[in-house]
Chains A and B, each alone.
Chain A
Amino acid sequence: MRLIVAITCVVACAVGAAPVRAKGQPAAVAALERQEKPSSAAIPLWPEGVPGAIKDAGPETLDEGLVRNVHEPSLTPYLPPPGRANGTAVIICPGGGYTVLAIEKEGAAVAKWLNTLGISAFVLKYRLKEYGHPAPLRDVLRAVRLLRSEAPRGGIQADRIGVIGFSAGGHLAASAATLFDAPEGRTGAELDRVSARPDFAILVYPVIVLSGPYAHAGSRRALLGEAPAPALVDALSLDARVTKDTPPAFLVHGGTDTAVPPENSTLFYLALRRSGVPAELHAYERGIHGFGLQPDHGPVSGWPNRCAEWMAAKGLLEGR
């Protein structure tokens, strides 16, 4: 904690162009909230320069809610109305098979829901197949480090920073939860000294395994290429990477998910149990891949309530 406070000044200067703003401009923020827009401009993750940046990569695109060709990873803040923030923050990892980002239905919509719970939400724009591993991992870990370092200024509790991810974004969120100390997640930046371990993980129809009958081949290809070394595939099949230091997790999956079968969530749950990590899993009979926050999928559409109950029981929705 001492370290974090010390680093805060450095970080604040480094990302001063667009720091996390929870206080200081309430009127403007409130106005934006009512319009269901981000609370401020996207915060670049790598103000010192994106590590491994591809030159002349062409522009990022946004088409029908899907972002493609990400080269400037960022966090877009969505903050609760003034006075409603409870100090918990969640980094949102939209899905899209490491090929695109479903930035609206698994991003902005999720942020707005989290805001209703008093949670400060940050939609992560992470790099995709144009880079492959370890770029997405670096991005999500940098996001945790950045928020944690900024926490005292942003009205966020440094020990209440979670990740939520959908599908391949669930793989990335689970990567943060298991690989937060991985050397490839560091870049030599000052912020490497801040813990990248999320305090909790919410995994929604997550991709967990990259080999075997339950693997999501598309995510593997986008992340690791056409013919990855088996050892690398195993290293990113995340049930195998759970330890007692993995944070508590909430998982939800639908039984009619043919893209990413629910065994992905089950295997992760069992791994958490073996390591003694508290976990909750709701595997609904019905629920196709990508239900997001849509209300018309039967009982599985109640998952945000189950998730809120889990967070409330963990004390994540109480102010301090």
Chain B
Amino acid sequence: MRVAFLLLCITVMAGSGALLEGQGGPQAAIPLWPEGVPGAISGAGPEVVESGGRISNVHEPSLTPYLAPAGSGPATAVIVCPGGGYNRLAADHEGRAVAEWLNSIGVSAFVLKYRLREYGHPAPLRDVLRAVRLLRSGHDRWGIAPDRIGVLGFSAGGHLAASAGTLFGEADGRTGAPLDAVSARPDFMVLVYPVIRLIAPHAHTGSGRSLLGANATAERLEQYSLDTRVTRDTPPAFLVHGGTDTAVPPENSVVFYLALRRAGVPAELHLYREGAHGIGLRPGNGPMSDWPKRCAEWMMARGLVRPGEA
């Protein structure tokens, strides 16, 4: 933490001319790597915004802050990882909308723009771990609590969030930057129809291909099937999955839950009878559309949301 405070000044000066104190709505995106994106591809072409707000060809990873209205004391923070199979980012319905919901329960949200198949592993992991480090080191700046920084991810973004929860100590996630000294361990995870397995059984092979390449060995695919990476240091998790998800079967959430149980990590699992892949926060999907309420209840029971705000 001492290191964190020292680094705060450096970070703010180095990267955040555009940072503004304030509340409501998105603020200017914070570049994750003001010292230069590690492994940047030169001449890579521009980032692309597709229909529905989907973003592809990410080369400048960033965090877009949506700060909660000022409450009593520092806010809980959540880094939101949109899904998109490590090919693109569903930055609107699994990003902005989620940030606005989190704000409504008194939580400050930071939508992560992470690198995708153009880079593959370990770029997305580096991006999410850097995001945790950046928020933790700069917590005063955003009025957030350094010990209440969570990750929330959808689909492949759930894989990335679960990667942060299991691989936060990996050498792969460090770049030699001073911020490496700050813990990248999230304090909690919220995983919504997450990809957990990259190899059979129950694999989402597309995510595996985009992350690890078409020729990844079975051993490597197993290595990043995150149920195999859970330890007692993995943070508590809330998982939700729909039974009619044919893209990423709910067994992904189940095997992760069972691994957390084996390691003695508190976990909560909601598996709805119906619920297709990618519903995000959309209403009209039956009982599963209430998953944000279940999540808020879980967060409140863990002291992450204040009573009255859930």
Does chain A have a CB within 8 A of B243?
A: yes
Contact A313 B274 (CB under 8 A): yes
Contacts of B238 in A (CB 8 A): 285
Contacts of A263 in B (CB 8 A): 258, 261
Does chain A have a CB within 8 A of B273?
A: yes
Does chain B have a CB within 8 A of A273?
A: yes
Contacts of B251 in A (CB 8 A): 270, 273
Q: Taking the nearest CB of chain A, how far is it from the CB of B237, in angstroms?
A: 9
User: Nearest chain-A residue to B239 (Cβ)?
Assistant: A283
Q: What 1/0 mask marks residues of chain A from 280 to 304 whose CB sits below 8 Å from any chain B CB?
A: 1111111000000000001100100
Contacts of A283 in B (CB 8 A): 257, 267-270
Interface of A is mostly: mixed
Does chain A have a CB within 8 A of B236?
A: yes
Contact of B243 among A266, A279, A282, A299 (CB under 8 A): A279
Q: Taking the nearest CB of chain B, how far is it from the CB of A262, in angstroms?
A: 7
Contacts of B250 in A (CB 8 A): 273
Contact of A313 among B257, B268, B286 (CB under 8 A): B286
Contacts of B297 in A (CB 8 A): 298-299, 302
Interface centre among A250, A261, A262, A282, by most chain B C-beta atoms within 10 angstroms, is: A282
Tell me the total A-B contact number using a CB cutoff of 8 A: 74
Given the interface contacts A266-B254, A270-B251, A273-B250, does A281 sit within 8 Å of B271 by beta carbon?
Answer: yes
Distance of A100 Cα from B162 Cα, bound (Å): 43
Does chain B have a CB within 8 A of A198?
A: no
Distance of A262 Cα from B269 Cα, bound (Å): 10
Contacts of A255 in B (CB 8 A): 261, 266-268
Contacts of A269 in B (CB 8 A): 254, 271
Q: Taking the nearest CB of chain B, how far is it from the CB of A263, in angstroms?
A: 7
Interface size on B, residues (CB 8 A): 27
Within 8 A of A (CB), among B253-278: 254, 257-258, 261, 266-274
Distance of A314 Cα from B286 Cα, bound (Å): 10
Contact A306 B257 (CB under 8 A): no
Contact of B267 among A248, A270, A285 (CB under 8 A): A285
Contact B257 A285 (CB under 8 A): no
Does chain B have a CB within 8 A of A181?
A: no
Given the interface contacts A262-B261, A299-B298, A302-B297, does A280 sit within 8 Å of B272 by beta carbon?
Answer: yes
Given the interface contacts A273-B251, A299-B298, A313-B273, does A266 sit within 8 Å of B258 by beta carbon?
Answer: yes
Distance of A285 Cα from B286 Cα, bound (Å): 23
Does chain B have a CB within 8 A of A278?
A: yes
Contacts of A273 in B (CB 8 A): 243, 249-251
Q: Taking the nearest CB of chain B, how far is it from the CB of A47, in angstroms?
A: 38
User: Nearest chain-A residue to B262 (Cβ)?
Assistant: A263
Does chain B have a CB within 8 A of A309?
A: yes
| Known contacts A280-B271, A299-B268, A299-B298; 20 further A-B pairs (Cβ under 8 A) | A262-B261, A266-B254, A266-B258, A269-B254, A273-B249, A273-B250, A273-B251, A279-B243, A280-B273, A281-B270, A282-B270, A282-B271, A283-B268, A285-B238, A285-B267, A285-B301, A286-B266, A309-B286, A309-B290, A310-B287
List, sorted by A's number, 6 A–B pairs whose CB atoms are closer than 8 Å: A281-B269, A283-B270, A285-B266, A285-B301, A299-B301, A313-B287
Q: Which 6 A-B pairs have the closest CB atoms?
A: A309-B287, A285-B268, A299-B297, A280-B273, A283-B269, A281-B271
